[in-house]
Amino acid sequence: MPRIEVGRENSGPIELHYEDYGSGRPVVLIHGWPQSGSSWERQIPPLLASGYRVITYDRRGFGASSRPAAGYEYDTFAHDLNTIVERLDLRDVSLVGFSMGGGEVARYIGTYGTERVRTATLISAIPPFLLKRADNPDGVDGSVFEGIIAGLQGDRPGFLTGFLANFYNVDVLRGSRISDDAVRAFWNAAVTASSIATIECVRAWLTDFRHDLEHFDVPTLILHGEADRIVPLEVSARRAHQAIDGSRLEIVAGAPHGMTWTHAEEVNEHLLAFLEARAHVAA
């Protein structure tokens, strides 16, 4: 099981589990909450078949990575990503972030720049800034996030059941786009994550990425589901598109937040077309 040390807590190392497949130009897939790198199951084979080297990793606290008590904020998450990029000596890399993974892409570029980055992709992502405040009046009220934290603290397994139902719009898409078995598998991954990480990551969603987006100077694809109940389209993708010069926004009709599974064919088509178009421009 390949692992990279990204820090230490007391007497033990903090290690991230990663997978490194194939050869060719590298693509790093950064998962969302409360999943792991395995959630990219429906994107990895098409990327490999198209000749890309594909790297996934489990965020600290999730999957097979270490479960420290601290470090669940975006400066640390970006440091973790940078450690992977540097340790694997990835260059000309395409960064693809789903949901809160889009925050890693934003903070990484805002902190470390784009010297090693070829393209960026944000899928169902939280940037630029979710929280409603005086300078962000159309954001999401803070009580929504407080309610999520309270639900997790009170009955994490039970809360995750309801959350994942809305993550995949199960009431609409069950049987046609997602099975009960798939939802159960995602619940298993979520409930076995660190309880500390699961809660602290919700606090991290309130990070302001507006300044980070000013540093995007590489081709950027923004993908979002029209029917996303978790991260509202108008608060996230449309604003990110406005903030990133030259970015490309694709809205997937009828897609929920978890569209990398329910609408995998559409997501893969958009992602591969974007990556291939950039390859031809470079050539």
Domains and their CATH numbers in the chain: 3-282 (3.40.50.1820)
Q: Which residue matches tokens 């991260």? A: 231
Task: Report pLDDT for 280.
Answer: 56
Task: Report pLDDT for 283.
Answer: 47
Task: Report pLDDT for 190.
Answer: 98
Residues 17, 66, 228, 236: which is the catalytic one? 228
pLDDT digits (tens, 9 = 90+) for 124-164: 999 999 999 999 999 999 999 999 999 999 999 999 999 99
Q: Is 163 exposed, middle or buried (0-12, 13-18, 19+ CB in 10 A)?
A: buried
Residues 17, 241, 257, 270: which is the catalytic one? 257
- CA 242/CA 234 separation, integer angstroms: 11
Our answer to whether residue 99 is catalytic in this structure is yes
Residues 99, 194, 236, 247: which is the catalytic one? 99
Task: Report pLDDT for 1.
Answer: 73
Cα-based distances in Å from 184 to 22, 56, 120, 141, 181: 29, 22, 31, 30, 5
Residues in CB range of 254: below 8 A, 6 or more apart? 225, 226, 227, 263
Q: Which residues of the chain have pLDDT under 70?
A: 278-283
Residues in CB range of 126: below 8 A, 6 or more apart? 99, 100, 102, 103, 205, 207, 209, 231, 236
Our answer to whether residue 263 is catalytic in this structure is no
Q: Are 207 and 106 in contact (CB under 8 A)?
A: no
Task: Report pLDDT for 101.
Answer: 98
